[in-house]
């Protein structure tokens, strides 16, 4: 069970590298929104690579997670800024980003040490990304946008679907993490991480589909 | 024990409910923002459309007025002058009726003047509406125009279409003829072109007329500015179609008129 779980966690990295590699390969042919999203994928790929190396070397890779939460959210807000710039007062996005980054710093300094698991940051990030992805998905069904620019939201919907699936499961898993750890045996808590990896694979497959559809169109 | 279980249940689910409430509230507020902006954009779009239609209407009235002025000028300068001369000759004829030689000369002059007047009237009438358009259709009329232009030996004009190209409703043929003449006029006046090609075909129930010349093309960003372009757009729009004007890849202009049938 232990080795299977390890293998699943290691194999779940492959879609991240695949999506990031494909995004970088198609970078020139992507539109502005997906170019910005490529930065998020590139960041995820690099962080994942370094964290796996640290994991193999048995070095604590939790500081990377703190950095990834802040940097990844910045990239995603940048992405939503390019998607929603004509539909929202962009100051709202900057204010949300500022508050989130301030919370990340406060969290490291006073709540969760840089070498411990960043569950607060992840939960807050998940809540905010769920709000953005859900709102953008509802927005894409608006008849004005559907009539004027139906192709533009095709790729973005795949990205939003991936983000929504992953962060919703992420939020629930980390929210109930403590309960699971206390109430269930160890193998069950490992299963939650396997589930987490599974949703991560789903998310990156959605990203890959978004990039593929965009390149195809 | 039961109390403790209730407490754990509450302490686990209550914050989750708060988080879900925050998510729902966030989604609602964001969507309200989106809808406000979309509504404003839609309103601006409608206003822009109305302004554009008003501009088209103004330009089409202006074109009509210009056309009326041109016809009035032609009638006054050509037909009016010829009829005045004829009247003068007839008055002279009245005084010289006794002298058969002089009377014959005056009669000959009157006949010549009426021929000039008739020719003028025919030309003006052809310019307003060429008779062959109604009788033989758009393709034959454009081919006749091409033949007239080619006889001048300053440029080569060609019309391409299928041999079995069908006759179209009068309104469409007239509209396309006017647009083609406006384009032709522009080429002759400003383009310094040596070749013009008009291709007419039907594709997926859309009538397409492609007009190209090898002249100077439009300078800079002036493609959509002229009154001529607006009148063409108004004509195409009245037929439910569009006109797209662009500079050619190497030289000249390329105009595509699309009319759904």
pLDDT, tens digit, 9 for 90 and up, residues B102-158: 888 888 888 888 898 888 888 888 777 777 888 888 898 889 889 988 888 888 999
Tell me what the mean pLDDT of segment B62-82 comes to. 84
Map out the domains of chain A as residue ranges: 2-216
Quick check: B173 and B138 in contact, CB under 8 A?
A: yes
pLDDT band at B15 (very low <50, low <70, confident <90, very high): confident
Q: How many CB pairs under 8 A join A and B?
A: 50
Predicted local confidence at residue A115, as pLDDT: 83
Question: Residue A174 has which token pair?
Answer: 């980390």
CATH of region A2-216: 1.20.1070
Q: Do B23 and A130 touch (CB under 8 A)?
A: yes
Predicted local confidence at residue A160, as pLDDT: 92
- Determine the Cα–Cα distance for residues B188 and B145; give it in Å rounded to an integer: 13
When the candidates are 3.30.565.10, 3.30.70.260, 3.40.50.300, 3.30.450.20, the CATH number that belongs to B130-260 is 3.30.565.10
Quick check: A53 and A32 in contact, CB under 8 A?
A: no
Tell me what the mean pLDDT of segment B4-32 comes to. 80
Q: What is the mean pLDDT of chain B?
A: 84
ipTM for the assembly? 0.78
- Determine the Cα–Cα distance for residues A80 and A77; give it in Å rounded to an integer: 5
Q: What is the pLDDT along chain A (217 residues), one digit of tens a residue?
A: 456 667 776 777 888 898 899 999 988 888 888 899 999 999 999 998 898 888 878 888 888 889 999 999 999 999 999 988 888 888 999 999 999 999 999 998 988 888 887 888 888 999 999 999 999 988 888 777 766 666 667 888 899 999 999 999 888 877 776 666 666 666 666 677 778 888 888 999 999 998 888 876 6
Instruction: Give which of B8, B15, B19, B35 to mutate to test A binding, by max A Cβ within 10 Å.
Output: B19
Instruction: Give which of A80, A120, A139 to mutate to test B binding, by max B Cβ within 10 Å.
Output: A139
Quick check: B260 and B240 in contact, CB under 8 A?
A: yes
The predicted-structure confidence for B166-209, as pLDDT tens digits, reads as follows 888 888 888 899 899 889 888 888 888 889 999 999 998 899 99
DSSP secondary structure string for all residues of A172-197: HHHHTHHHHHHHS-HHHHHHHHHHHH
CA distance, residue B32 to nearest chain A CA (Å)? 10
């Amino acid at each position: 069970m232990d080795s299977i779980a390890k293998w699943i966690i290691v194999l779940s990295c492959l879609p991240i590298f695949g999506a990031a590699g494909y995004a970088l390969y198609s970078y020139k042919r992507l539109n502005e929104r997906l170019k910005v999203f490529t930065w998020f994928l590139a960041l995820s790929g690099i962080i994942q690579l370094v964290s796996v190396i640290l994991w193999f070397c048995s070095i604590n890779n939790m500081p990377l997670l703190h950095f990834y939460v802040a940097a990844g959210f910045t990239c995603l807000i940048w992405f939503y800024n390019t998607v929603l710039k004509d539909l929202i007062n962009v100051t709202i996005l900057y204010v949300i980003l500022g508050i989130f980054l301030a919370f990340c710093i406060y969290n490291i300094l006073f709540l969760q040490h840089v070498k411990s698991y960043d569950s607060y940051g992840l939960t807050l990030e998940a809540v905010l990304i769920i709000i953005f992805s859900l709102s953008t998905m509802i927005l894409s069904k608006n008849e004005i946008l559907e009539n004027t620019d139906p192709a533009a939201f095709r790729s973005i919907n795949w990205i939003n679907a991936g983000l929504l699936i992953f962060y919703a499961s992420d939020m629930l898993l980390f929210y109930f993490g403590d309960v699971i750890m206390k109430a269930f045996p160890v193998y069950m808590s490992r299963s939650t991480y396997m589930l987490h990896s599974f949703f991560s694979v789903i998310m990156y497959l959605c990203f890959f589909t978004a990039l593929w559809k965009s390149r195809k169109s | 024990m039961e109390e403790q279980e209730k407490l754990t249940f509450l302490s686990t689910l209550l914050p989750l409910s708060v988080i879900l409430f925050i998510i729902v509230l966030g989604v609602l507020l964001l969507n309200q923002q989106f809808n406000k902006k979309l509504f404003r954009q839609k309103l601006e779009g409608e206003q822009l459309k109305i302004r554009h239609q008003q501009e088209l209407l103004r330009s089409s009235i202006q074109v009509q007025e210009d056309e009326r002025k041109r016809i009035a000028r032609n009638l006054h300068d050509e037909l009016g002058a010829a009829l005045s001369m004829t009247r003068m000759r007839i008055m002279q004829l009245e005084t010289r009726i006794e002298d058969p030689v002089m009377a014959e000369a005056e009669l000959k002059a009157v006949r010549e003047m009426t021929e000039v007047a008739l020719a003028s009237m025919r030309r003006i009438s052809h310019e307003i509406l060429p008779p062959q358009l109604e009788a033989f259709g758009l393709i034959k009329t454009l081919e006749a125009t091409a033949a007239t232009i080619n006889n001048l030996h300053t440029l080569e004009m060609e019309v391409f279409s299928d041999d079995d190209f069908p006759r179209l409703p009068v309104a469409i043929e007239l509209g396309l003829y006017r647009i083609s003449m406006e384009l032709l006029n522009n080429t002759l006046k400003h383009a310094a072109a040596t070749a013009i090609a008009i291709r007419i075909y039907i594709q997926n129930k859309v009538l397409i007329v492609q007009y190209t010349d090898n002249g100077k093309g439009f300078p800079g960003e002036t493609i959509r500015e002229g009154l001529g372009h607006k009148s063409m757009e108004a004509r195409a729009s009245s037929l439910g179609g569009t006109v797209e004007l662009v500079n050619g890849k190497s030289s000249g202009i390329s105009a595509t008129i699309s009319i759904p049938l």
